Amino acid sequence: MLPDRAPSRERLGVGYGSRLELEQAQLQSDEGQHERPKFVLGSVHARLDYAEHVARRRATSMLCLGSVFGFLGFIVAALLGMYHTYAASSHDLNLHGEPFPSGESYWPQSVSEMVQDPRTPTGKVWMCFQVIAAISIWLSWYPWELRNVYVGGEVKLLWCVPFLHLRTFVPPVGMLMVVFVPLSLQSDFGNTFATAIHLIGAGVMLGGYGLCEAYTLAFAEYVKIQAKERIIRTILCVCCLLNGLGFLVFGHLPTGHLCCGDVWRVPTEEDAKLARTNGYPGIAVMNELAMAQNVARLYDTASGTLLVFKYLTYWCEVGAGFSMIASMIAIWLFAPERTMEVGNEIPEKDGEDSDYEDSDLEP
């Protein structure tokens, strides 16, 4: 027996694929074959059926598009970032124009740090792909249209906010916050405030999605999920939450007694002179600009235990992001609406032909 639908869907005769689909089960003949009901092309039933099928197919298409671009954003940014870290020889020089004393290349602590400059190729690719992903996921409205996600309109969380609104808005809004408020390596008040907004966006994106998915899998009463699908989505949800927790833990551990972290300091005149002596006038100019603006530059890179923590923080964030995107792909893959068929003709009111005469359009 099917659960009660929301009043608006009950009134329109939609909610579980379409009323037409449900009625097919009652039209089984003695031979055990289903006979699809025939309706006039312009009837109310035909138009409602068409509108519902289009909305649900749009939801699956937009969700798929957003998932693909979200995946590309993470993978391309990671590959370009690693290339920039290990293949660009100038990146292995400190503010003196000398190799880092630690002997290690600089490794960013997170994906956000790797893509924090929108002027670089990595930053441009990240911004492009993630904006497309966020907008596509947002406009899909998939929590409202897909039966393997729809939890019912009466579920409310966080001060009576409907759950469907939270799942629709929270992850893509967090994604846009991460993209448009990039992480800053400077420690002044303005940059620290912007970094806090960025971190909140990351928490909203990863944590918000993971918690919404956990509720859907564990407590939702009306959602329609297959057994195999539930297992896959549960594994991905747990991976998303655990990796997100690891990102927070490893990135914010007290490290005062551990060795050895990145060393940043504001350059001096001696640093600029030493860079010129070593044959790097460009680095010397950058030192002078940083000195005039009181901006710190990298003198030495992390090594030892702190370098391991940076690796763990980075890959936990990557794991959380990939798990979130993979979970959306699983939702799309198992959604019954993905295989819905739309008719060859758009239903017109009262079955009228779409070729109107000019006089018919006059008031």
- Report the predicted TM-score, pTM, of the whole model to 2 decimal places: 0.77
pLDDT at position 52: 82
Q: Say if residue 218's pLDDT is above 50.
A: yes
Whether residue 11 is contained in a domain is answered as no
What would the pLDDT profile of 243-276 be if each residue is shown by its tens digit? 989 888 887 776 667 778 888 888 888 888 898 8
What would the pLDDT profile of 228-245 be if each residue is shown by its tens digit? 999 999 999 999 999 989
| Rounded-to-integer distance, Cα 192 and Cα 186, Å | 7
Whether residue 348 is contained in a domain is answered as no
Q: Say if residue 80's pLDDT is above 80.
A: no
Whether residue 289 is contained in a domain is answered as no
Contacts for 105 with CB less than 8 Å, ≥ 6 apart: 85, 86, 91, 92, 301
Whether residue 194 is contained in a domain is answered as yes
Look over the chain and give the mean of its residue pLDDT values, rounded to a whole number. 80
pLDDT at position 87: 63
Closest to 237 measured CA to CA, from 168, 319, 304: 319
Whether residue 91 is contained in a domain is answered as yes
Q: Say if residue 81's pLDDT is above 60.
A: yes
% of the chain exceeding 90 in pLDDT: 27
Whether residue 277 is contained in a domain is answered as no
Where in the sequence is the domain holding 134, given as residue range(s)?
Answer: 45-262+301-338
Whether residue 232 is contained in a domain is answered as yes
Q: Which residue has the higher pLDDT, 159 or 181?
A: 181
Whether residue 274 is contained in a domain is answered as no
What would the pLDDT profile of 303-318 be if each residue is shown by its tens digit? 888 888 888 888 888 8
- Structural domain total, the chain: 1
Helix (H, G, I), strand (E, B) or coil at 27: helix
